[in-house]
Amino acid sequence: MATATEPGLDSSHANDPGMPSIQQNRGLRFWGTFVCLCILAFISALDVAVITIALPTITNEIGGAHQYIWIANSFVVASSVLQPLIGQLADAFGRRTPLISSVVAFALGSGLAGSAYNAAMLIAGRTIQGVGAGGIYILLDIVCCDLVPLRERGKYLGLMFSWSGVAAALGPPVGGALAEANWRWIFYMNLPICGVALGGLLLFMQVRSGATNANELGIMAKLGRLDIIGNVIFTPSMISLLIGLIGGGTQHPWSSWRIILPLLLGIIGWISFHILQFFVEYPSVPPCLFSNRTSATAFLLTFTSSVLLQVLSYFLPIYFQAVKHTTVLRSGILFLPFALGALVFAVVAGTLLSKFGKYRPLHALAFALASVAFGLFTLLGPNTPEFAYVLFELIASAGMGMIMSVLLPAIMAPLPEKYVASSSATYSFVRTFGYIWGITIPGLIFNAVFNHHLPTISDPTVQSQLRGGAAYAFASQMHALQNTLSPAVWGEVIAIYVKSLKAIWWVCLGISLLSFFTVALEREVKLREELDTEYGLD
């Protein structure tokens, strides 16, 4: 197994005779394939954004209040635990078959969830959806990287991520409208969109399956190129770890053995998996991905930026609902400056990366802007004017949007092109793992601060309604309860929300500053301008 060295690695494999240099094709098949990728980025992101706001309505109709946490998170677990395996499948069988299979799985899961008549059926549908979505997340990045050389990837990744940003912006109002009309169409609407994307892939995505996977290689020979033992260890370890992270503080206290045991088993299994990767012939997460400081640092920045992005997605609406006492739908509209701004800045950063070929200044600028934004968020209160928090959102969107499209090229810069699939799969997993921590970390902080200040509320009934982690869900009811509470109690409740959110903003400011200084560990590796891949358009 080759180990990447930093910075001159790109020249060592650019003319590798086993890696044919591909003439860039910008014809109908290129754009047809790329549009299909954008459609898939849109629908997979829209599903996540829509379901969040509609879940209370869904569970109220079909039951499953006690299974609520798994109705919400079965998708997350299923989409994350198989990502390294899917990256290997893309190398062994080519990109086309795994991507088409992932779209089919996502559509089947959507159909099953839409027709669910009980919680078990809904969880099953969401799990199948998650498997498909996990494959889509990874293969979007991989196929995009196969289409364009490294120097241009930021631009096209930014364009693709912008569709995800549009979906994130549309999610709350669409979810609210469909929840009121017929929640089943939240899932059914995926079917025709997946059908269009699937038809486009079958028509336009004619790609090679890789020089190492010639037709004479049989199915067993291809399966032999998979890290079976590693995935047998990795998958249950991640399920165990995620069970602990998701259930901690919600289903059981963090001190409960039901949380501590799965966390320990997951961590031990995860460590064992990475040790094993040094000894297998075809590792699913090659150790060389972390053997150079640029890729390793970019993976770390991927994690921290995902945490920050998820915090904003979950807790800015809480500020609007609880402190500014807006409706859920109105909070989604007020979140639009961040969501739409992020997609614009993702495209801008990707274009700048393609033009100048420098990712370190973009990384530093992104986290500097994020630091400024979270510092400004600490000033948010009940009397903050609208123009102020919209401005704060736009600054945050510049930081979070810019970093979206320029991390994966930095990860790949010091690595040979043959690691596109494994590095993309690892990047996708780290990003997903960051999203999970982006709920867990601020959730712990929010509940701890809220419970600490709870005695300052003079009404015992309101205290009981907010105790034990109920404050997050209570925020959505603040608009309706505004006239039922006395002005004094109302002010006390809002004051605690402000303090709890401020604690989160301060922690995120620290994470942003740490990320900013961490950029110094990266080296500026020249981005390859030739497309050398075994999997490009045929």
Q: Residue 205 sits in a domain of what CATH number?
A: 1.20.1250.20
Across the range 87-105, mean pLDDT stands at 89
pLDDT of residue 56: 67
User: Residue 476 to residues 327, 332, 448: CA-CA distances in angstroms?
Assistant: 7, 12, 20
Model confidence at 214: pLDDT above 70: no
Range with the largest mean pLDDT of 75-89, 297-311, 416-430: 297-311
The answer to whether 299 and 426 have CB atoms below 8 angstroms apart is yes
Domain coverage including residue 410: 9-227+277-532
Model confidence at 246: pLDDT above 80: no
Of the candidates 201, 227, 143, the one whose C-alpha atom is nearest the C-alpha of residue 408 is: 143
pLDDT of residue 208: 67
241 in any annotated domain: no
Give me the helices (H) in 454-536, please.
Answer: 460-466, 471-474, 478-481, 487-518
Q: In total, how many domains does the chain have?
A: 1
The answer to whether 404 and 349 have CB atoms below 8 angstroms apart is yes
Across the range 348-363, mean pLDDT stands at 91
263 in any annotated domain: no
The answer to whether 289 and 419 have CB atoms below 8 angstroms apart is yes
Can you tell me the distance from the alpha carbon of 158 to that of 405, in angstroms, rounded to the nearest whole number? 5
Q: What's this model's pTM, rounded to 2 decimal places?
A: 0.83
pLDDT of residue 35: 92
Across the range 412-434, mean pLDDT stands at 87
325 in any annotated domain: yes
Share of the chain above pLDDT 70, in %: 88
Cα 360 to chain centroid distance, Å, stands at 22
237 in any annotated domain: no
Residue 321 in tokens = 């609902």
Can you tell me the distance from the alpha carbon of 460 to that of 452, in angstroms, rounded to the nearest whole number? 15
pLDDT of residue 535: 63
Residue 478 in tokens = 């603040």
Structural element, H or E, at residue 284: none
538 in any annotated domain: no
Q: Which residues pair with residue 22 across a beta bridge? A: 531
Task: Give me the chain's average pLDDT, please.
Answer: 83
Can you tell me the distance from the alpha carbon of 365 to that of 250, in angstroms, rounded to the nearest whole number? 37
Model confidence at 19: pLDDT above 50: no
Can you tell me the distance from the alpha carbon of 452 to that of 464, in angstroms, rounded to the nearest whole number? 14
Model confidence at 385: pLDDT above 90: yes
pLDDT of residue 210: 60
Comparing 7 with 300, the larger pLDDT belongs to 300
Model confidence at 9: pLDDT above 50: no
| C-beta atoms surrounding 216 within 10 Å | 6
The answer to whether 320 and 331 have CB atoms below 8 angstroms apart is yes
**Confidence tier at 211 by pLDDT (50, 70, 90):** low
203 in any annotated domain: yes
